[in-house]
Amino acid sequence: EAQVTQNPRYLITVTGKKLTVTCSQNMNHEYMSWYRQDPGLGLRQIYYSMNVEVTDKGDVPEGYKVSRKEKRNFPLILESPSPNQTSLYFCASRTGSNYGYTFGSGTRLTVV
């Protein structure tokens, strides 16, 4: 089944404790992206990647890192999480410039 898989689905952590949210797609898509979704603000792009080893900042990159060492994987790293990073995170992938994104099921992160 074609899908984007992200883990974990739920995570509660403490301020400053490094964490990684994994994302993997099995559709051989070039483009991958991370979004966060907050009430009233909609989906905001954190980072995106056009292909292996090609990543760039989105609209809200502060406090996040990403890597794209393989085409299928695009992990999101929070080196020192803070409470303002409490949010619902989505990983997404698409095949080309005129195609929409396929989303993972989301990761609900709470930083206390």
Binding site for other proteins (CB under 8 A): 33, 35, 40-43, 45, 48, 50, 56, 88, 90, 94, 97-106, 108
Give the Cα-Cα-Cα angle 8, 1, 10 (nearest 5 degrees): 10
State which residue, 50 or 77, has the beta carbon closest to other proteins.
Answer: 50
What's the closest the beta carbon of residue 16 comes to other proteins, in angstroms? Answer: 27
What's the closest the beta carbon of residue 100 comes to other proteins, in angstroms? Answer: 4
CB 21 within 8 A of CB 81: no
What's the closest the beta carbon of residue 80 comes to other proteins, in angstroms? Answer: 27
88: part of which helix (H) or strand (E)? Answer: strand 87-94
Structure tokens at 34: 């991370």
